[in-house]
Amino acid sequence: MSEPTRHPAPRRRRDAIVAAACGAFVAVMVGAAFAAVPFYNWFCRTTGFGGTTQVASVAPAGMLDRMITVRFDANVSPGLPWRFAPEVNSIDLHIGEVATIYYDVVNTSARMTEGQASYNVSPPTVGAYFTKINCFCFTQQRLAPGEKRQMAVVFYVDPALAKDSDHDGLNSITLSYTFFPVPVDPARPTAGSAALAAPARRL
């Protein structure tokens, strides 16, 4: 009896097609993961999701009589030898009023260090109305050994907040920052203390 005829070529071709399909799927998923990061950041900035604040280049057209308290919080992630604190714990201001507050930071180590601040506001739903004109959090901060720095935040609460019935009872907002360590790269430009970008009441 003769042996059955084997057909290895079609099987190898099928295996190659399956392998190529799997590779393409992995590549698409990796690409989607990277694309999801800027999309997520855009979504947060647009909607204020998760307490993400907004950015503007100019002050609003006017302010309201309604007052609101803004509290300031400061944190440093483990691994970054900095002292970081707001100059004032809270301020009261009109909705639509531009204000400038300052944070102080000190590098307590004997080496150059660099950090990047993340930020959010609470309650998280207020992120869509809390707008920054200038902030030290826009750039990485590099501090020499023992260096002290004063860093500005210029912001306002958008008057559109008053039209949102979900926030009729809101009387306080907390702005929170956390500095995380970043590897020092001498070739990467960094900013010093944030300059004031608009006339504002200093607190």
3-state secondary structure 65-132: CCEEEEEEEEEECCCCCEEEEECCCEEEEECCCCEEEEEEEEECCCCCEEEEEEEEEECHHHHHCEEE
- pLDDT tens for the chain, 203 residues long, are 555 555 555 566 665 565 565 555 544 443 433 333 343 343 344 433 444 667 776 778 889 999 999 999 999 999 999 999 999 999 999 999 999 999 999 999 999 999 999 999 999 999 999 999 999 988 999 999 999 999 999 999 999 999 999 999 999 999 999 999 999 876 666 655 443 444 444 44
Is the residue at 69 inside a domain?
yes
Whether residue 150 sits in one domain with residue 93: yes
The predicted structure's pLDDT at residue 15:
59
pLDDT at 165 (0 to 100):
93
Structural domain tally of the chain?
2
The pLDDT of residue 13: 63
Q: Are residues 124 and 172 in the same domain?
A: yes
Same domain, 75 and 153: yes
Cα–Cα distances in angstroms (integers) from residue 99 to residues 3, 88, 94, 118, 152, in the given order: 89, 13, 9, 20, 10
- Residue located via tokens 């507050």: 101
**What's the pLDDT score for residue 50?**
40
Residues 41 and 118 in one domain: no
Residue numbers of the domain that contains 188: 51-202
Q: What is the pTM of this model?
A: 0.68
CA neighbours within 13 Å on the CB side: how many for 150? Answer: 7
- The confidence score (pLDDT) of residue 194 equals 43
User: CB within 8 A of 45, min separation 6: which ones?
Assistant: 52, 54, 55
Q: Is 61 among the domain residues?
A: yes
Query: Would you say residue 3 lies in a domain?
Result: no
Considering the domain boundaries, does residue 194 fall inside one? yes
Distance, CA of 66 to CA of 181 (rounded, Å): 39
Widest CA span in the chain: 101
Does residue 2 lie within any of the structural domains?
no
* Residues 140, 103 within the same domain: yes
Q: Is residue 4 part of a domain?
A: no
- 149 beta partners: 105
Residue type present at position 104? D
